[in-house]
Amino acid sequence: MRLLKVATCNLNQWAMDFDCNLKHIKDSITRAKEVGAVIRLGPELEITGYGCEDHFLELDTVNHAWECLKEILLGDWTDGILCSIGMPIIRGSERYNCQVLCFNRKIVMIRPKMWLANDGNYRELRWFTTWKQKDQLVEFQIPPEISEALSQNLVPFGYGYIQFLDTAVAAEICEELFTPNPPHTELALNGVEVFLNASGSHHQLRKLDLRLRAFIGATYTRGGVYMYSNHQGCDGARLYYDGCSCVVVNGEVVAQGSQFSLKDVEVVVAQVDLDAVASLRGSISSFQEQASCKTKVSSVTVPYNICKPFNLKMLLSSPQKIMYHSPEEEIAFGPGCWLWDYLRRSGASGFLLPLSGGADSSCVAAIVGCMCQLVVKEIANGDEQVKADAMRIGNYTDGKFPTDSKEFAKRIFYTVYMGSENSSEATKTRAKVLADEIGSWHLDVCIDGVVSSLLSLFQTVTGKRPRYKVDGGSNVENLGLQNIQARIRMVLAFMLASLLPWVHNKKGFYLVLGSSNVDEALRGYLTKYDCSAADINPIGSISKQDLWTFLRWAANHLGYSSLAEIEAAPPTAELEPIRSNYSQLDEVDMGMTYEELSVYGRLRKIFRCGPVSMFKNLCYKWGATLTPSEVADKVKHFFKYYSINRHKMTVLTPSYHAESYSPEDNRFDLRQFLYNARWPYQFRKMDELVQEMNGDRVAFKETGEDGGTAAGGGGMGVVAAASGNPKAGF
Task: Give the start-to-end residue ranges of the domains of the chain.
Answer: 3-324, 343-569, 585-694
- Mark whether 147 is an active-site residue: no
Residue 414 has pLDDT above 80, yes or no: yes
Q: Which percentage of the chain shows pLDDT scores above 90? A: 83
CA distances in angstroms from 141 to 148, 188, 298, 660, listed in the order given = 11, 29, 19, 42
Residue 708 has pLDDT above 50, yes or no: no
pLDDT-derived band at 700 (thresholds 50, 70, 90) equals low
Predicted local distance difference test score (pLDDT) of residue 345: 96
pLDDT digits (tens, 9 = 90+) for 292-325: 999 999 999 999 999 999 888 889 999 999 999 9
**Cβ neighbours around 638 below 10 Å, total:** 24
Predicted local distance difference test score (pLDDT) of residue 524: 87
Mean pLDDT estimate for the chain = 92
Which is nearest to 480 in space by CA: 464, 468, 496, 495? 468
Which is nearest to 366 in space by CA: 402, 410, 333? 333
Predicted local distance difference test score (pLDDT) of residue 311: 85
Residue in 5, 33, 70, 113 annotated catalytic: 113
pLDDT-derived band at 697 (thresholds 50, 70, 90) equals low
Residue 707 has pLDDT above 50, yes or no: no
pLDDT-derived band at 610 (thresholds 50, 70, 90) equals very high
240-257 exposure pattern, b = at least 16 Cβ within 10 A, e = fewer = bbbbbbbbbbbbebbbbb
* C-alpha to C-alpha distance for 409 and 347, rounded to whole angstroms: 17
**Geometric angle at alpha carbon 473, from 469 and 474, rounded to 5°:** 90
- Mark whether 113 is an active-site residue: yes
pLDDT digits (tens, 9 = 90+) for 1-35: 899 999 999 999 999 999 999 999 999 999 999 99
CATH code for the domain defined by 343-569: 3.40.50.620
CATH code for the domain defined by 3-324: 3.60.110.10
Given a contact cutoff of 8 angstroms between Cβ atoms, the answer to whether 677 and 606 are in contact is no
The mean pLDDT value for 689-712 works out to 60
Predicted local distance difference test score (pLDDT) of residue 720: 31
Predicted local distance difference test score (pLDDT) of residue 314: 83
Predicted local distance difference test score (pLDDT) of residue 699: 57
If one compares 703 and 716, the residue with the highest pLDDT of the two is 703
Residue 158 has pLDDT above 80, yes or no: yes
The mean pLDDT value for 508-531 works out to 90
The mean pLDDT value for 413-441 works out to 96
Predicted local distance difference test score (pLDDT) of residue 722: 30
Beta bridge partners of 336: none
Residue 342 has pLDDT above 50, yes or no: yes
Q: Judging by beta carbons within 10 Å of its beta carbon (0-12, 13-18, 19+), is residue 187 exposed, middle or buried?
A: buried
* C-alpha to C-alpha distance for 64 and 47, rounded to whole angstroms: 9
Residue in 258, 261, 356, 541 annotated catalytic: 356
If one compares 587 and 149, the residue with the highest pLDDT of the two is 149
Answer positive or negative: Cα dihedral of 150, 154, 159, 160.
negative
Residue 728 has pLDDT above 50, yes or no: no
Residue in 28, 33, 44, 662 annotated catalytic: 44
Predicted local distance difference test score (pLDDT) of residue 719: 34
Residue spans of beta strands (DSSP E) within 463-572: 510-512
- Mark whether 44 is an active-site residue: yes
Q: Which percentage of the chain shows pLDDT scores above 70? A: 95
Q: Judging by beta carbons within 10 Å of its beta carbon (0-12, 13-18, 19+), is residue 313 exposed, middle or buried?
A: exposed
Predicted local distance difference test score (pLDDT) of residue 387: 97
The mean pLDDT value for 556-583 works out to 88
Predicted local distance difference test score (pLDDT) of residue 185: 95
Q: Judging by beta carbons within 10 Å of its beta carbon (0-12, 13-18, 19+), is residue 520 exposed, middle or buried?
A: buried
Predicted local distance difference test score (pLDDT) of residue 574: 84
Which is nearest to 344 in space by CA: 705, 17, 706, 3? 17
- Mark whether 561 is an active-site residue: no
Beta bridge partners of 163: 168, 301
Residue in 68, 174, 234, 246 annotated catalytic: 174
Predicted local distance difference test score (pLDDT) of residue 589: 86
Given a contact cutoff of 8 angstroms between Cβ atoms, the answer to whether 432 and 416 are in contact is no
Residue 706 has pLDDT above 50, yes or no: no
Residue 726 has pLDDT above 90, yes or no: no
pLDDT-derived band at 672 (thresholds 50, 70, 90) equals confident
pLDDT-derived band at 150 (thresholds 50, 70, 90) equals very high
Predicted local distance difference test score (pLDDT) of residue 703: 53
The mean pLDDT value for 80-102 works out to 98
